[in-house]
Structures are given as C-alpha cells and as structure tokens.
C-alpha cells in the first residue's frame, strides 16, 4: 500500500457539517455548508482584502528581511475579434494582472490570516515553448510568511484571458506550481478576485487554517444562489430538468415533454435560468447557445475543442446546406451503386461563400471535402469506412451480424437467455398476447439437432437482443409519422463451438392498432430465396432498433447525460484542493460543452437524431423510459454489467475475477483489462489520501458530493436501494472507478467506431421506412417484393438526405481532435506534485502500454474468430492511444465529442 502524505499537525474532524436542507429557488433541495461550533471558536480570521490598503499589507506584513520570489504566469492565446489598445498599454506597463500571495498559515500571535503579498505582472515579448503568452511578477515575501497556499488574481484588462498556470520560484521550500486552467474575467465584469490554490491536495480535515475561509468562499461562488439567468462569463454550477428541447412558441409541433420528474425520470442538466415559453410555462426558451460554466467552454482557445467546433459547423452550417439542395426529402437510393457513389464520386455542393471562405472545413476534413475546379463548388466525398474497405459485402453476411453484437458499435445489449418460453411483461390487454412466437421447435430446427432448447439453456448457448417491451408502446405513435415504421423485436443467437454467434430467429411484433389485431411473425435464415430476402428485411428493422438504442441509451444517456450531474456536484461540493476533485477533473473536460451543443442541434426537436433515427420525435422520451427501467449506477461498472447480462460469472480463479460466458468476447476481454488498470490507479490514489477507513466517512465534502449526486443530480432515483454506500476507501474506489470507466472506456467503445460500422449505412440503418411485406400483405406489395426484393430493401433504408446527414455526423463524432488527451498518456500537474501519486500514475501508464500489446496479440490470434479473419475489422476500440482523425481506436480521458 502507498504511504500517506505528510499531513499538517492541525486536524479538524468536522469543520463544515451539513446543515438542514433548504429549498432552492428552482424547487430543488440543496445541502448548504455552515461552520461547526468548533470552527466558530477558532481564532478570529481577518480578510486579506480588508487589509489591502495598509502599509503592512503592501510590504508583506513586515518591515524586516524579505525573500525575492518570482512568478511566471502562463496564459493561453485566444481568438479575439479585436484587441483593446488599453489592454496593450497595460501589458506594456505591467498592469494586466494583479496578484496576491496567500499564506497557508495563520499569524501565531493574533490568530488572524497573514497579510497577503502583492505584485503586478508584466508581459514578456516572447512566448514559451508551448506557444503560451508569458507574464512575470516579483514579490517581496517577508520572513515568517510561511508556506504559500493560494494566490488571488485580478484581471485589469478589458478582455478575459485564459490563465493556464503560475509557477513561483525563489521560495525557501522550493518552487510551487499553481495549476489554474481557468478563464479570468475582467474586473469590469467580475469584481471579485479569483482564488487559485497550489497543487498540494488536502482533505477538508487537513486544510491549513489560513486557507479555510477561501475554500468556503470559492465553493459558495461556484454554487450560486439559484436565481436569475446565467451569463456567459458566470462560473456557476446548478441543476435543472431537460425542458429546453422544443420550441413551442414558434412551432407547436416542436413541443416536447419535460424530462426529469416523477412522470418522466431523467438525470439533471446544468441550469441556465432562461425565461419560460408563453405557450408552455414548463418549457424554457431556447437560444442560439446554451449556457455552461465559463471554465467548461474552451471554444475560443486556439486548437482547443477542435472536435466540438467542427461538430458545430457540421450541424449548424454544412448539413443545412446539403439539406437545402434536396428537393424530395423522401427520395431513397434506387440502386446500391447510387450508395457507392457517395464514396466514389461524391456530391457536388455549392457551399455559400461565407462558409467556403472559412478554412475550418479544408483544414479539419480534407478527407471529405474536395475542390471541384471546373464548377468552383466543392465535392463532398466520403471516405470508405474501414469495414467496407476490408469487405464490401460484410453488411450482407449473417456471421458478421452476429460478430458485431460482440465486437461492433453496441456491445451493451446482448444478454443470455435464462427463461423459456419468452414472454412479454407488458399488459396483454393493451399490447396483445404476451407469448413469443419463437417456438421450441423452430429453435431446435435452426440449431440442427445439435441439442434441445433445454440443453442450450443449461449450457448457456442462447443469447438475445431484446427490444420488444421497450419499443412496443411506441409502435403506434411512430407509425403516425410519415416515412417511419417501428416494431417490437427480439433476435436470438446460438453460441457455436468456435465461439461465434449464429443468428437463429427474429421476431417482429405490432400491437393492436387502427382496428387491427396484434401482428407478429418470426423470420429465420433460409436457403429459399423469398425467405432469405424476408430475413434480410427483418435484419434491417432490427439493426435500426439497435442503432436507435445505441445512440439514445448506450451512448447519449449512459455516458453524456448521466455524467453531467457528476460534473456539477464535483464543482459544487469538492473544493479545488480536494484530491478527488483533482482526480476527476481530467475525466470531465469538455463534456458539458458537448452536451450543451447536443441539446442545441442533436437531440432537440427536429434535430439530427429525431430526423434520422427510428424513434423520431419520441427519441428523448424513449431515452427517459430506458433510464427509468434500466439505468442503475452500480451496473455502470463493467464487471457488474457483464454479470447482469449473463455474459460473465464471478470466478476468483479467472483473470479480473470473472469467467466470461463467451470466451471470445472482444469488448469484454479488452474492457476488463482497461477496467483493472483504472481500478488499480484509483486504488493507489485513494489509499494514499485515505489511509484510514474513517477518513472517508468523516470527509464532509465527499459525503455532501455523493449525497448531491444521488438526491439532486439523479433525483428521480434518489430512493433506489441499489445506490452504493460511501463509508470506506473501498466504497470510494468502486464509485470513482465506475465514473472514470464511463467517461473513458465505455464512451470510447460506443463512439469512435461510429463511422467504421455506420459509415456504410446498410450495415447499420438508423431508420426503417417500410413495413414488412408480409404484414397485412397486399397483392401489389407482394408482387413488387417478389419481382424486385432489392428495391424493397432499398426503400426500407434511410432516404438520401437522412443517410447523408448521418454519415456526416458519424464521421465527425468518430474523429479524434489533434489536441486529444488520451487516458494515462500525460500526468496532470497536481498528480505530479506528489511523488507517490506520480509513481502510481507511471505504473498506470505502463499498464496501458502493456494492454496495447495484448490487444494487438489478440487481434493477430487466428483462433479468435470474433476479431480475426478474412475481411474482419480487428477490434481496436479499446486500444488506449490513437492519432488524430477517424482511427477506430483511442480512449480519451473524457467525453469530449
């Protein structure tokens, strides 16, 4: 076990206990922090700000011997439309930044905070090796000032600036680094001085007395008061429901129900405080941009958030431009060769001059946008996805259909069949017979007499994709939308002796509707041509169900959406010097910004998802149902998720303590290796700061954090019995590892393969537009199907504009930005500040490098048929590192795209 860091002699077990809850202005209950009686009895603390005018403060609190301390301030360059002359003059005369060093110690004679030491920063002409703007300041630190614990910063310029870090040199105990990573507003906008603590981490009971007041003030500022509309410059973290997806005031058809509350449970998002709609007071007015706390939005920094800026351009400008060119929005592809033209010839796109003049497209996606010199326009030509490049007919093959349930884009839905016969849990009076049409005889015939169904169940050979009960209540609603067909579906697979999955049967169900009784039919692979084409059509429907579930639940809900409350609570309840705050921050970078963009252009009413995915206008509502019925925090841990779905059982003699039901499961094997490395890193980190069990339970910041996540961030599930307790270091290790896994490994597995597997959309159609020809069969439809089954399949696929929009979006979402930060690649400065933590990180980084080699070896193993074979895409989605672009691999720290 790692040895704990040396702690201060002072120790306050409970400094700020939780007071009684009070009602927040928005109707949420929050847990404020107040001083305990023991803290109130401590010596009087005087504010350094109140003493700023005294001669004593100006000279560091003493007229005796002083030490010359130099500060080097690193500021990231930003993209600004205009540069203020006043700012340039202030830079020249050293009046851009006013700084104050804060002692971590109290004055032993008075018991008050020591006077701060002031200094002004002057800009240097040269930038540093990272291209950062450099400022320097000098301080005269008096003898007896003690350890520097924080620095106060005020921006004297007119414009905001992004403060990267501050390094102090000349101190008796060696250099001190203060990692800032924050926007500093002009004092004309925000009058309060910013507080930044040094990189040394403390538990609340160990915080030096000289920093206690600043800790409380900083957390109070980040929480805000829950009132008013948030401004772009604010740094306030607060909660609200999803009530801004529609725009009923401008178009009643875009009205959408509020997500979050008893009727439609959902995680909470960041509060913006905008005014309510006139036609629907429950809904919030939409705007051109969604507020997020300023430090979560790095869009103005050169090269930062490359991916988010590109995605915004694609959704806001490029897709509307392409869409405007299409006269018939329902027009499909008449031949498969027309689909191939998207990759071979491309689309002639007359981009508006305003967009064409920007270099973003040319520099960001030269692989897609080509210049057509003869017309002066641009050619939008898609790169052939890796799966299509390796095997043009991969999407047609049943073995690939089975393989991709394990090693494809959505490995989160396959589960072991444990009960037979299959039955629905829905009300049969509303949805018809609950009994599945998949019979024992049919399955045994498909197995080919190898074993009975009973034996297959006992030997754990039957697996299923089950979208029956989730989708069936929406079938009638979705079918009322023109060009949309939906069924409830079940798909059964058999585990072959070689570890591959053989598709056995697909059941499609339509509930009683429009005066018609329930319809259901089972389709299976066949050598007979008609049955064979019906099977292909049934696969297209199931794949559209899987695509919708993947995007709305496996991707959006379980990663982006459910993580946002963790981010809000971390900033509200864990102070900047708390070690758990510093452990989690890299895993939260950019997520709130990308989520805000999603609410604006992706998951909003008539947005990209609603217009191109099967649930259509009910997409987010369906996501809420999945959250209500399926989401559990404890099951977000990879081992428990695999056990829940019957894909693993606990086995202390197996690697990672689990024995896989399907041994050749690429996602599970690679994922468990990543999980183990993450867990060991978190274990080393937590045990260093919490060497005693009681420290976790007595950490009031940590307890308030976990309470707020459960009762406010996920308020609709606050009473669930499955929430883990937080009493011991082991509890904390499991909770933190789960959060980090979701933001890194889980998200990587469902995101960065989107273009690989969905770029050629017949492999994973996002929508089905025609019903099965056997449902309410007419002579005309049947004749058309029999004479031209290929055309029937093409008409079922997405339309041209739907397919193009999805391909553009998938390409962007699958891209790594040039400034991507991969897990374990570079140590965070606060981690490096502690030698024990730095050593633990280096072991973690080394483990990830070993896993890279293990994954390569697995992909080269010809015995592993789910990741190796002719035309097979190797499973690399959980390889830790990658280069920029669409690579189909790489695990970033955070959900940054």
The SS3 of residue 65 is coil
- Indicate the burial class of 115 (C-beta count within 10 angstroms; 0-12, 13-18, 19 or more): buried
Question: What is the SS3 string spanning 340-409?
Answer: HHHHHCCEEECCCHHHHCCCHHHHHCCCCEEECCCCCCEEECCCCCHHHHHCCCHHHCHHHHHHHHHHCC
Q: How many CB atoms lie within 10 A of CB 211?
A: 24
Q: Which residue in the list 24, 587, 746, 747 is annotated as catalytic?
A: 747
Nearest CA among 634, 627, 837, 840 for reference residue 735: 634
The C-alpha atoms of residue 657 and residue 648 are separated, in whole angstroms, by 10
Is residue 560 among the annotated active site residues?
A: yes
Is residue 897 among the annotated active site residues?
A: yes
Nearest CA among 654, 736, 759 for reference residue 689: 736
CB 369 within 8 A of CB 380: yes
Instruction: State the pairing for strand pair 269-270/347-349.
Output: unpaired
- The rounded radius of gyration (Å) of the Cα atoms in the chain is 29
Is residue 747 among the annotated active site residues?
A: yes
The C-alpha atoms of residue 429 and residue 469 are separated, in whole angstroms, by 14
CB 525 within 8 A of CB 532: yes
Q: Which residue in the list 24, 28, 541, 560 is annotated as catalytic?
A: 560
CB 628 within 8 A of CB 260: no
Task: Using alpha carbons, list the distances in angstroms from residue 178 to 101, 173, 516.
Answer: 11, 15, 70
Is residue 410 among the annotated active site residues?
A: no
Is residue 555 among the annotated active site residues?
A: yes
CB 153 within 8 A of CB 99: yes
CB 173 within 8 A of CB 807: no
Q: Which residue in the list 665, 751, 763, 866 is annotated as catalytic?
A: 751
- Secondary structure percentages of the chain, helix, strand, coil, to 5: 40, 15, 45
CB 395 within 8 A of CB 758: no
Go through 707-727 and write b for each residue having 16 or more CB atoms within 10 A of its CB, e for each that does not. Answer: bbbbbbbbbbbeeeeebbebe
The C-alpha atoms of residue 152 and residue 137 are separated, in whole angstroms, by 13
637: cis peptide before it, omega within 30°? no
The C-alpha atoms of residue 32 and residue 698 are separated, in whole angstroms, by 17
Find the helix packing angle between 800-813 and 336-344, rounded to 10°. Answer: 40
Q: Which residue in the list 555, 688, 746, 816 is annotated as catalytic?
A: 555
The SS3 of residue 12 is coil
The C-alpha atoms of residue 392 and residue 763 are separated, in whole angstroms, by 10
Give the distance from CA 204 to its chain's centroid.
Answer: 29
Longest Cα–Cα distance of the chain, Å, equals 102
Question: Which residues sit opposite 168 in a β-bridge?
Answer: 71, 176
Q: Which residues are catalytic?
A: 555, 560, 747, 751, 897
């Amino acid at each position: 076990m790692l040895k704990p860091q040396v702690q201060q002699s002072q120790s306050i077990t409970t400094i700020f206990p939780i007071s009684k809850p009070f009602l927040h202005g928005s109707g949420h209950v929050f847990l404020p922090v107040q001083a305990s009686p023991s803290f109130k009895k401590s010596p009087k603390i005087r504010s350094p700000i109140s003493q700023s005018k005294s001669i004593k403060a100006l000279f560091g609190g003493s007229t005796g011997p002083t030490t010359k301390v130099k500060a080097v301030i690193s500021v990231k360059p930003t993209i600004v439309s205009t540069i203020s002359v006043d700012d340039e003059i202030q830079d020249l005369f050293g009046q851009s930044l006013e700084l104050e060093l804060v002692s971590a110690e109290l004055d032993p004679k008075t018991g008050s905070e020591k006077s701060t030491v002031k200094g002004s920063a002057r800009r240097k002409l040269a930038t540093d090796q990272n291209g950062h703007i450099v400022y320097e300041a000098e301080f005269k630190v008096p003898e007896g000032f003690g350890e520097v614990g924080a620095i106060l910063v005020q921006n004297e310029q007119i414009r905001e600036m992004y403060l990267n870090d501050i390094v102090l040199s000349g101190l008796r105990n060696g250099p001190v680094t203060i990692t800032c990573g924050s926007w500093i507003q002009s004092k004309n906008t925000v009058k309060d001085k910013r507080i930044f603590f040094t990189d040394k981490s403390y538990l609340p009971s160990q915080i030096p007395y000289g920093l206690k007041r600043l800790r409380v003030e900083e957390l109070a500022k980040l929480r805000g008061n829950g009132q008013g509309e948030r401004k772009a410059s604010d740094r306030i973290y607060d909660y609200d429901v999803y009530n801004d997806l529609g725009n009923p005031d401008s178009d009643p058809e875009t009205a959408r129900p509020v997500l979050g509350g008893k009727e439609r449970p959902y995680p909470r998002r960041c509060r913006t405080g905008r005014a309510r709609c006139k036609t629907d007071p429950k809904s919030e007015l939409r705007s051109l941009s969604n507020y997020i706390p300023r430090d979560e939005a790095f869009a103005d920094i050169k090269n930062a958030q490359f991916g988010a800026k590109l995605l915004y351009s694609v959704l806001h400008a490029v897709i509307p431009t392409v869409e405007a060119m299409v006269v018939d929005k329902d027009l499909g592809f008449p031949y498969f060769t027309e689909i191939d033209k998207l990759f071979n010839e491309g689309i002639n796109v007359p981009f508006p001059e305003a967009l064409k003049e920007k270099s973003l497209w040319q520099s960001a996606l030269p692989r897609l946008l080509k210049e057509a010199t003869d017309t002066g326009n641009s050619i939008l030509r898609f790169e052939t996805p890796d799966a299509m490049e390796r095997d043009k007919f991969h999407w047609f093959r049943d073995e690939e259909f089975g393989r991709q349930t394990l090693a494809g884009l959505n490995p989160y839905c396959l589960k072991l069949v444990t009960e037979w016969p299959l039955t629905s849990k829905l009300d049969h009076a509303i949805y018809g017979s609950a009994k599945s049409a998949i019979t024992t005889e049919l399955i045994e015939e498909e197995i080919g007499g190898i074993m009975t169904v009973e034996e297959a169940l006992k030997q754990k050979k039957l697996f299923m994709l089950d979208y029956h009960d989730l989708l069936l209540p929406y079938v009638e609603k979705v079918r009322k939308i023109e060009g949309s067909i939906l069924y409830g579906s079940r798909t059964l697979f058999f585990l072959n002796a070689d570890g591959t999955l053989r598709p056995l049967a697909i059941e499609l169900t339509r509930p009683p509707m429009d005066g018609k009784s329930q319809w259901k039919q089972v389709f299976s692979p066949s050598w007979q041509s008609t049955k064979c084409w019906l099977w292909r059509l049934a696969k297209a429907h199931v794949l559209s169900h899987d695509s919708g579930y993947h995007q709305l639940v496996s991707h959006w809900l379980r990663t982006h959406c459910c993580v946002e409350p963790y981010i809000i609570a971390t900033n509200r309840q864990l102070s900047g010097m708390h070690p758990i705050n510093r452990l989690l921050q890299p895993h939260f970078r950019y997520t709130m910004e990308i989520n805000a963009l999603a609410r604006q252009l992706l998951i909003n009413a008539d947005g990209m998802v609603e217009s191109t995915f099967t649930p259509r206008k009910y997409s987010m509502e369906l996501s809420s149902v999945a959250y209500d019925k399926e989401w559990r925090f404890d099951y977000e841990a990879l081992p428990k998720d695999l056990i829940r779905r019957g894909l693993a059982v606990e086995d202390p003699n197996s690697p990672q303590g689990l024995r896989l039901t399907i041994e050749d499961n690429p996602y599970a094997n690679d994922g468990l290796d990543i999980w183990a490395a993450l867990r060991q890193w978190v274990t080393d980190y937590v045990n260093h700061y919490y060497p005693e069990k009681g420290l976790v339970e007595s950490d009031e910041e940590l307890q308030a954090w976990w309470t707020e996540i459960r009762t406010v961030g996920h308020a609709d599930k606050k009473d669930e019995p499955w929430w883990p307790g937080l009493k011991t270091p082991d509890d904390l290790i499991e909770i933190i590892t789960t959060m980090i896994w979701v933001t890194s490994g889980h998200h990587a597995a469902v995101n960065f393969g989107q273009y690989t597997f969905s770029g050629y959309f017949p492999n994973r159609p996002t929508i089905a537009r025609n019903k099965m020809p056997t449902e309410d069969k007419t002579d005309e439809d049947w004749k058309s199907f029999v004479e031209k089954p290929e055309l029937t399949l093409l008409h079922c696929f997405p339309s041209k504009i739907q397919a193009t929009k999805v391909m553009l979006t998938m390409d962007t979402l699958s891209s790594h930005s040039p400034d991507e930060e991969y897990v374990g690649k570079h140590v965070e400065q606060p981690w490096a500040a502690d030698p024990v933590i730095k050593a633990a990180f280096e072991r973690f980084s080394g483990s990830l490098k070993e896993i890279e080699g293990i994954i390569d070896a697995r992909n080269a193993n010809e015995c592993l048929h789910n990741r190796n074979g002719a035309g097979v895409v190797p499973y690399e989605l959980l390889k830790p590192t990658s280069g920029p672009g669409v690579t189909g691999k790489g695990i970033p720290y955070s959900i940054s795209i």
